[in-house]
Structures are given as C-alpha cells and as structure tokens.
Amino acid sequence: MKRMMSMCLVAATAAFIAPQTGTAADAAAGKEKASLCMTCHGVNGISTTPLVPNLAGQKEAYIVKALKDFREGKRDSSIMRSMASNLSDGDIADLAAFFSSLSPK
C-alpha cells in the first residue's frame, strides 16, 4: 500500500513539474527565425515606421502572448495573423527570447 501511494505521489509530482520544465527558449534560434519579422519591426527590433511597434526590449511573456493571440485570431491584424499562423509554440518562444534580449530604443 505504501509503495503504491509513493508511486502515485511520484507520478503526480512528475505530471505537475513536466509542463513547467519544457525546452528553454533559444534567443540565437530566434534571431535566425526573425528575418521576416525584421522586414517591418527592424533589424534590431526597432521599427522605422511609426505604425509598426518596436519589439526590442519587450517583455518575453508579452511577445509570446501577442504572437499566440495573432495566430489564434484573438488579436485583429490580417498581416500579423498570416505571419504568426505557421509559427509553432517553440518558434514563438525563440522569437520572444530574441526580441526581449535586445536593447530598447
């Protein structure tokens, strides 16, 4: 009985911890994936167009949420929806890590 309870406790702990310990975001990989983003948002994440937001120095969590919201149609932008539609969660995490690592204007 004790062995069974111990095994259940270990399994429950592993199930709780696993989603929180996924693959870490990779800013270097994000830089490689960001070439299309840089067309509008600038090479260093600083846009030269007033209507396009700067991404440099934005909070990583904000970029992740924004890209997922664009991908899922929760934020309204036909351009950004088409850009984000093919991004995986890993791509989004890498892009967010890259842009958040840049110095803001």
> Can you give the pTM of this predicted structure?
0.77
105 confidence band (pLDDT: 50, 70, 90): confident
Is the pLDDT at 26 greater than 90, yes or no?
A: yes
Residue 2 lies in a domain: no
| pLDDT (tens digit per residue) in 52-82 | 999 999 999 999 999 999 999 999 999 999 9
The domain total for the chain is 1
Question: CATH number of the domain that 79 lies in?
Answer: 1.10.760.10
Residue 17 lies in a domain: no
Burial of 83 (C-beta count, 10 Å sphere; 0-12/13-18/19+): middle
